[in-house]
Amino acid sequence: MEHISGCLQLMALNLHGNYLGNEGLIAIAGSLPVTSTLQVMNLASNRIDSNLAVIRTFCECLVPNNTLVKVDLNFNHLNTDAIKELLPVIASKPNIIQFRIAPRIQKEIADELFTMLAERNKK
pTM: 0.90
Which of these, 29, 31, 11, lies nearest to 20 by C-alpha position? 29
10-residue stretch averages of pLDDT, the chain, 123 residues long: 62 96 96 92 97 98 96 96 96 96 88 93 79
Q: Based on the number of CB atoms within 10 Å of its own CB, is 58 exposed (0-12), middle (13-18) or buried (19 or more)?
A: buried
User: Residue 49: helix, strand or coil by DSSP?
Assistant: strand
Q: Residue 103: its pLDDT value, please?
A: 76
Contact 56, 84 (CB under 8 A): no
